[in-house]
Structure 1
Amino acid sequence: MQPEPASPSLTEARPHGGGPLDPAPEVLSETLEELVSTIGRVREAIESVVAGRPALADITLAVLLAEGHLLVEDVPGVGKTTLAKALARSIDCHVGRIQFTPDLLPSDLTGVNIFRTATHDFEFRPGPVFNNIVIGDEINRASPKTQSALLECMEEGQTTVDGTTYTLPRPFLVVATQNPVEMEGTYPLPEAQRDRFMARLTVGYPENDAEMLMLDRQEAATPLAHLEPVTTGSTISRYAALVRTVHAAPAVKQYVLDLVAATRGHDGLRLGASPRASLQLLRAAKALAAMSGREHVLPDDVQALARPVLAHRLILSTESRLAGTSAEQLVDEIVQRTPVPAAAGRR
């Protein structure tokens, strides 16, 4: 499966081997309007299935446009897999689903070479990671060896089978779910793999009105069965290229670094966020800015994403765990006490 080509207007090469050309302001504005309209329809499609929690759709779409990966963690039955399926069905692209179990092998994810007696040659059968959106259900039920098979896919957009490297399609998004309650027969994700997820979402219980709406909608049939795609994978790739051109002022970049640096020196944390966290927080903030129709990042974008992007990368100190303090609470504290840059935004 070959990657879908990106839009020529956003990836035209500079002469003499330079980087990509910035689109003209009028082209950027028009494409941003198109992005806002299309992503708005995708958001509506997701919210027609997962009602009453708009922040979930916004963060999920920001991760998609920022070319990251999403970890959805919560108790059973709150809609983790439904959220992932709603996103996948809203986009006309190739979707793969993996039910992680203790006996799952790495080759069950990446694919395997099969010997064909008719041709006396090996034929590669690609696994479910060769899809645009990969839904990994209960990822912490697989062994560490199988979990690690996703590392190269998530970080480099490729996988290696029997010494041959295969490029994965674009866009490529892993949406993994895990249950933090039933720990019997599970293997906690190692820090290295958690760090590769751009954001972690906690779905939570819906409000009473939202749950009543869910009962009304799903009394006779599931909304997923009637969900129609509103855009395509190639369009999402084009929007992802546009998101990379969104401007982040030096003051905003410094604000990102200040937030991440504050996690490394916090008394309540044994391990702070990595440099990868800085990069992914900025990329996600660019996506959120584009979804708002802006050509520049604001500190508000960074603050809105600090919790989902940073909290799952942090390791609490013994004192914090004994006090019942969560990583999310510490991130909120860091955001509150870190000075916000003034007049950061436009060029």
Structure 2
Amino acid sequence: MAVGITAINEKVKEESLFIEDLLNETRKVIVGQNYLIERLLVGLLANGHILIEGVPGLAKTLSVRVLAGVINTKFQRIQFTPDLLPADIVGTLVYDPKNGGFTTKRGPIFSNIILADEINRSPAKVQSALLEAMQEKQVTIGDQTFKLEEPFLVLATQNPIEQEGTYPLPEAQVDRFMLKLNISYPNKEEELKILKKMAVTSRNLDVTAVVSPEKILKARSVINEIYMDEKIEKYIVDIVFATREPANYGLKDLDGLIEYGASPRASINLALAARAYAFLQRRGYVTPQDVKSIGPDVLRHRVIPSYEAEAEEKTSEDIVKRIFDEIEVP
């Protein structure tokens, strides 16, 4: 087994060399936001969609645009507004009076990296237009179904739901996102750098594409080979089950605070994201710390607090943190 892990380690180190080029190019534009950039890479490598939440002005949209720019692939930005229609995303059938038939007009979803900007500014019927594309990697227009090109990734930004003019995403939609990231303000030092770099009338936000889609797909195949011990697999399952049956894990005080726990999709995504996180660390094996590092991003949107939890001002973030603090690490 040790020989096998050594071989995987060498393979990961070789195949992850492009990560440094990608980060260097990204940092030409983005100041700070290391957490956001790292998690965007985890989603890209683990083939998982990402939901990014934060107040306006934190470079959420810019970070996604820059990431798309450093990969030589197709990119589309969709600005979600209250008057947006599902056909504006997936496309529609257009009547051709010359031959009396219909032709298919494809929407912006037919791309590789999709920026769904301010996704919660549109009603549920528009948000749900992404469901088939995100889960099945296909789009149905009329009676025709079209496969989407790989890699296909939806990176959605949303404003905090307390803000005016927002529509909370349905649970089924939220669960399709592998990660949900909560972005906070930069520190003083970072904000000073941002001010010096961006407080000019003409900004150079151009980046060079340094990674091909083929390189991303090859990295994904290597990530599938990263070793995960059975103890860590059981640790992941214990974490997820603790969101459903907290009393069985010595967390009786959480019993009435969770309305719905995480689904099996959470277990799958946590394992995939942990492997991708290990790849970013240039390792061919997953450690418990990888699971703990990426776990809150996988679970925070999948644990639904009860009314009792809201009355006690307990958030899903608090619940997930407590579970990771209490469940024994292998």
* Shift of residue 29, structure 1, vs aligned partner: 4.9
C-alpha separation between the residues in 2 aligned to 1:173 and 1:72? 13
C-alpha separation between the residues in 1 aligned to 2:5 and 2:229? 17
For 1:222, give the aligned amino acid: R
Q: Please tell me whether the aligned partners of residues 132 and 233 of structure 1 are also in contact (alpha carbons under 8 angstroms).
A: no
For 1:110, give the aligned amino acid: V
Aligned match of 1:209: 189
C-alpha separation between the residues in 2 aligned to 1:214 and 1:183? 25
Of 265, 276, 279, the residue aligned with 2:245 is: 265
* Shift of residue 318, structure 1, vs aligned partner: 2.0
**Is structure 2 residue 55 aligned with structure 1 residue 66?**
no
Please identify, of 170-179 and 263-272, the stretch whose mean Cα deviation from structure 2 is larger: 263-272
Q: Please tell me whether the aligned partners of residues 67 and 173 of structure 1 are also in contact (alpha carbons under 8 angstroms).
A: yes
Q: Please tell me whether the aligned partners of residues 47 and 57 of structure 1 are also in contact (alpha carbons under 8 angstroms).
A: no
C-alpha separation between the residues in 2 aligned to 1:30 and 1:83? 30
C-alpha separation between the residues in 2 aligned to 1:95 and 1:309? 25
Give the 3 Å change call, closer, same or farther, for CA 39–232 of structure 1 in structure 2: same
**Is structure 2 residue 33 aligned with structure 1 residue 53?**
yes
Q: Please tell me whether the aligned partners of residues 159 and 168 of structure 1 are also in contact (alpha carbons under 8 angstroms).
A: yes
Taking only the aligned residue pairs, the percentage that are identical comes to 39
Give the 3 Å change call, closer, same or farther, for CA 48–328 of structure 1 in structure 2: farther
Task: Give the alignment's TM-score, normalised by structure 1.
Answer: 0.86
Gaps of 5+ in 1: 1-23, 342-347
**Is structure 2 residue 195 aligned with structure 1 residue 222?**
no
Aligned match of 2:307: 318
* Shift of residue 213, structure 1, vs aligned partner: 0.6
C-alpha separation between the residues in 1 aligned to 2:282 and 2:83? 46
SS in 2 for 1:286: helix
**1:134-193 deviation line (CA, Å, top 9, x unaligned):** 000111111211111101111111111102111001001100011115643322101111
RMSD value, Cα:
1.9
Q: Please tell me whether the aligned partners of residues 47 and 54 of structure 1 are also in contact (alpha carbons under 8 angstroms).
A: no
* Shift of residue 219, structure 1, vs aligned partner: 2.6
Q: Please tell me whether the aligned partners of residues 8 and 226 of structure 2 are also in contact (alpha carbons under 8 angstroms).
A: no
Question: Any residues of structure 2 matched to 1:4-153 within 5 Å, and which?
Answer: 28-29=8-9, 31-118=11-98, 120-153=100-133
Gaps of 5+ in 2: 247-254
**1:229-256 deviation line (CA, Å, top 9, x unaligned):** 1111221112112212212111111110
Q: Please tell me whether the aligned partners of residues 35 and 290 of structure 1 are also in contact (alpha carbons under 8 angstroms).
A: no
**Is structure 2 residue 313 aligned with structure 1 residue 332?**
no
Task: Give the alignment's TM-score, normalised by structure 2.
Answer: 0.90
Q: Please tell me whether the aligned partners of residues 178 and 298 of structure 2 are also in contact (alpha carbons under 8 angstroms).
A: yes
* Shift of residue 226, structure 1, vs aligned partner: 2.2
**Is structure 2 residue 208 aligned with structure 1 residue 232?**
no
For 2:81, give the aligned amino acid: T
Please identify, of 101-110 and 67-76, the stretch whose mean Cα deviation from structure 2 is larger: 101-110
**Is structure 2 residue 293 aligned with structure 1 residue 304?**
yes
Of 248, 268, 272, the residue aligned with 2:228 is: 248
For 2:140, give the aligned amino acid: T
